[in-house]
Every structure is written in structure tokens, then in C-alpha cells.
Amino acid sequence: MAIFVNENTKVVVQGLTGGQGRYHGLRNRDYGTNVVGGVTPGKGGQDVDGIPVFDSVTEAVEATGADASFVAVPPKFASGAILEAAEAGIAFVVCITEGIPAQDEAMTYNVLVRNHPGTRLLGPNCPGVISPGKCNIGITAGEIAQNPTADGPNVGIVSRSGTLTYQALYELKQAGIGVSTCVGIGGDPVPGTNFIDCLERFQSDPETHAIMMIGEIGGSAEEEAAAFIDANVTKPMAAYIAGVTAPPGKKMGHAGAIVSGGKGTAQGKMLALSEAGVKVGVNPTEAGELMTEIIRELS
């Protein structure tokens, strides 16, 4: 079944006429994703390699029946684009934009929760989501993802790190392990979708038989996920936490990856996950090997 997106998902690309929107939108289309339109104000009536462009998301939805949006616009326009998609009735919005101010992220998230509870935001500052063989929204290279098999066992992946998302996909592909869905939630302080959202969906997805989680230093999302896993997740899991050697108080790439006041350390997150029954690797490759062992036991 996959989670969030599948072969029936209809995608509109906000910013399709821009450099990044065009490049990744066409890659998604060529992968097999049902990209039905693009949106750029003032450029309605044009097309990008056969994909029609509309002036607004509302027009695109009315013309195409789109139910998902891929936001690929600069930071100062991203919040407006996300809310425009929600106002048009889009159920699932993927925003890859990096550099959105935390205040704007918080405002956008709270407006969505208050006014548009039917819209789920993935991101911002994330690689997106891929249900291999079905749908790819974002910047993940589809060729590194192994399609799931009908009988499984298949793995669901959720990750804060874009680069490590790709490594997890490729580690599993090298082992011949299928992936139901891979979700990159992004590393910003206010993500639209968190670990628990994904774990809950993977737990109830019959196509997902095991779960791989990749976290990083900063914040308490991994500890909260560990508590949820302990209480609610019965499927076997492997995990990796990035940032073991990160110095306290120093920003490490992601805006959310800051250790302060002794909280948010890699060691603390690893311990919490281990106590919840998750097999935790000391590096990404070992996490992949642990997942391979899990799949071997399930086969």
C-alpha cells in the first residue's frame, strides 16, 4: 500500500518554471510520478515539456484533480506557496526549500493545524518522499530505491537527514531489500511531519514489515519517537543517530541539529531507542546491516 503517496497520487509542482522546479519536477515525472501540472503566477497557459502551467493552485486543482503539491520555490515565497496549496484543498504538500526562517515555519505550521487540518506538510528542507515504483515527490534519485515485493518483507524508512536517506536506500538496494516508502522529514526546527507521524503510518501499513529510522543530534524528536515505539510499534526496527562527535552548542548543518544544555545528544537518543527495543547501529552501514539481519529473520 505504501504511505502518503502511491501510483494514484496526482502532483502539481509549484515553481515548475524555475530551475530547480523544472529539473526535479521532470525527474519525478520521468520516474513515473503522475505530475499533472505546474503553478507559476503570471505564466498560466504555458507548459514545461508538455506539463501545463497554471496561475494558481486552485486553477490547477480544478483542471487536473491534483491532490499533492511539490513546493520548489525560494524561501521568501515558500510559506505563501504552502498555504496556497492548503487553501486549494491539496491534501499532501512536500516542500524542499531550505533557509526558511524558523518564525515563518512556526507560523505556517500553526496556520495549517488551525485552518487546514486536512493538509499534511512534509518538510521544509527535506528530500521528499518516494514510494518506489509508484511515486517520487522531491529530490531523491529514484534509481537508488529498490521496489517492494508483493509478499515482502519490505522496509519503511524515515529520516531527518537527506544524505543519509539516500545512503539508507542504497544500502538496502545493495542487499536486494524492497522499500515500501521512504520519507525524509527534514532537519529544520519546525517540521510539518515528524517521526511519530511516519511510525504510526508504517505500523498500520500492511506493505511495511520492518522500519528503519535515521535521526540526528538536537531537539527531543528521537526520544519522543522512542517512547512511541515502546508503546505502539510492534514491527522490528533498526536505527542510526548522526552526530556522535558533534561539539555541544555548535550548529551542525541542519538548523535543528544543535545540542544545548546537555539535551539532544546522540548518546541519549541511541540509549532511548535501544531501551525501546530498536537495534541501533554506530554508523549508517551498520544500521543497514542490522536491517538486513532483521529482514533475513522475517523471510
Do 113 and 223 lie in one domain? The reply is no
* 2 torsion bin: left (phi>0), alpha (psi -120 to 50), beta (else): left
- The answer to whether 134 and 7 are in contact (CB under 8 A) is yes
- The answer to whether 165 and 138 are in contact (CB under 8 A) is no
The whole-number pLDDT of residue 243 equals 79
Residues 1-15: what's their mean pLDDT? 96
Whether pLDDT at 263 is above 80? no
Residues 87-102: what's their mean pLDDT? 96
Q: What is the b/e burial string over 157-193, where b = at least 16 CB atoms within 10 angstroms of the residue's CB?
A: bbbbbbebbbbbbbbbbeeebbbbbbbbbbbbbbbbb
Q: What is the mean pLDDT of the chain?
A: 94
Flag the least confident range among 20-29, 74-83, 103-112, 211-220: 211-220
Query: What's the CA gap between 188 and 100, in Å, rounded?
Result: 9
Domain CATH for 117: 3.40.50.720
Whether pLDDT at 251 is above 80? no
Query: CA-CA distances (angstroms) from residue 155 to 25, 96, 292?
Result: 26, 23, 10
Query: What's the CA gap between 20 and 101, in Å, rounded?
Result: 20
The whole-number pLDDT of residue 244 equals 75
Q: Please indicate, yes or no, if residue 2 is contained in any of the structural domains.
A: no
Q: Please indicate, yes or no, if residue 86 is contained in any of the structural domains.
A: yes
Question: Which of 122, 152, 173 delimits the end of a domain?
Answer: 122
What percentage of the chain has pLDDT greater than the value 70?
Answer: 94
Whether pLDDT at 260 is above 60? no
The whole-number pLDDT of residue 211 equals 98
Do 71 and 171 lie in one domain? The reply is no
The whole-number pLDDT of residue 254 equals 57
Whether pLDDT at 246 is above 90? no
Query: What's the CA gap between 91 and 128, in Å, rounded?
Result: 15
32-88 pLDDT per residue, tens: 999 999 999 999 999 999 999 999 999 999 999 999 999 999 999 999 999 999 999
Q: In what order do the strands lie in the sheet with 210-216?
A: 135-138, 128-131, 179-184, 155-159, 210-216, 237-242, 279-281
The whole-number pLDDT of residue 264 equals 77
120 forms beta bridges with 92
Q: Please indicate, yes or no, if residue 135 is contained in any of the structural domains.
A: no
Query: What's the CA gap between 47 and 174, in Å, rounded?
Result: 38
104-153 pLDDT per residue, tens: 999 999 999 999 999 999 999 999 999 999 999 999 999 999 999 999 99
Q: Please indicate, yes or no, if residue 227 is contained in any of the structural domains.
A: yes
Q: What is the b/e burial string over 197-224, where b = at least 16 CB atoms within 10 angstroms of the residue's CB?
A: bbbebbbebebbbbbbbbbbbbbebbbe
Active site residue 116: no
Q: Please indicate, yes or no, if residue 38 is contained in any of the structural domains.
A: yes
The whole-number pLDDT of residue 31 equals 98
Do 253 and 165 lie in one domain? The reply is yes
Do 148 and 272 lie in one domain? The reply is yes
CA angle, residues 104, 110, 116, in degrees to nearest 5: 120
What percentage of the chain has pLDDT greater than the value 90?
Answer: 87
User: Which is the catalytic residue, given 24, 116, 209, 254?
Assistant: 254
Do 153 and 275 lie in one domain? The reply is yes
Q: Please indicate, yes or no, if residue 129 is contained in any of the structural domains.
A: no
Query: What's the CA gap between 37 and 40, in Å, rounded?
Result: 10
Q: Which domain holds residue 41?
A: 10-122
Whether pLDDT at 247 is above 60? yes
Whether pLDDT at 258 is above 60? no
The whole-number pLDDT of residue 252 equals 55
More confident residue, 118 or 266: 118
Domain CATH for 192: 3.40.50.261
